[in-house]
Amino acid sequence: MIESILWLAVGLMVASSVIPRTSRVRKLIGGIGWGVFSIHWSYQPLHYLKIMDYANVLLTIVVALFCLLVAYIMFLEYRKGPLKIINNREVLHSKFSDQSEADSLDITSMLTSASALGALVYFPFANFASLNTLIIGGVTSQVTWVLQYLDIPAYMKAWNMISLNGYTVEIILACTAIESIALFMGLICAVRAPLSRLAMAFIVSVPVIYILNLIRDIFVVVAYGEQWFGADSFIIAHNYIAKAGSGIALFVISYAVLRILPELFGMIDGLWVILSNELKSLLLRSEGD
């Protein structure tokens, strides 16, 4: 059921992205897509609670609420027209008939396109067994090769498991960094910029993320196999140190991409203005009631 909900959301977002920007129907379809997407994310905290990954519990709850807010905004745009930002702060609705305004100010449609592109990169690996096995097995083999090259006596216990000193780490899809790779590919491809700058943004993000992820996996295997932090070595190494390192790395990579693609910053800044304005409006309305 969850898989069907996921693909329905992605299909609606893709459909919204290909519909002409002057058509109000794209907002309705996009809003429904984001609403369905929120259902998918609302199920994810249950999985992370089982494995005691509380950081991702909080993250998935925030993502689900974010999807609902975007859905609400797109429904408003369907009724009143795309949101237009005035003087970097004031938000007004414009007309669908104005092609120039729709192209330059349609922030939620750009976000929908970026999400659709990212989903098309990520979800095939998450839902098709052959691709899932390919990427997980590839990362497992590469991590094992590096460890053995460094004379660390690790070996592949199975196609997706690495053992060191009797302690075994299972490589899952989250250990491949495909989520972060899909995110950056979606954002980069959704921006209108010269091909040379798009290529440069890709180079400083996707390959770098993949290499840093291999280093992260190597660290977790060694920290757990050598019991660097005692009985809780895996939890400390994976859930705390590795996640903190990943967060810092993604922040630096994001900064580099934004320097190369200032258009992306414009989209993010516009999205922040729109979301904050609509959220304040909802809160004031609830207080009034």
Q: Which residues are catalytic?
A: 175, 216
**Residue 103 vs residues 84, 118, 121, 163: alpha-carbon distances, Å:** 11, 21, 25, 53
Instruction: Decide if 172 contacts 160 (C-beta within 8 A).
Output: yes
Q: H/E element holding 167?
A: strand 167-170
* Residue 110 buriedness (CB in 10 A; 0-12 / 13-18 / 19+): buried
Alpha carbons 132 and 98: distance in angstroms, whole number: 44
Alpha carbons 20 and 87: distance in angstroms, whole number: 27
Alpha carbons 123 and 120: distance in angstroms, whole number: 6
Tokens of 174: 């989250």
- CB-CB neighbours of 122 under 10 Å: 20
Q: Among 105, 109, 110, which residue's Cα sits nearest to residue 78?
A: 109
Instruction: Decide if 31 contacts 75 (C-beta within 8 A).
Output: yes
φ, ψ for residue 198 (rounded to 5)? -65, -40
Alpha carbons 105 and 241: distance in angstroms, whole number: 40
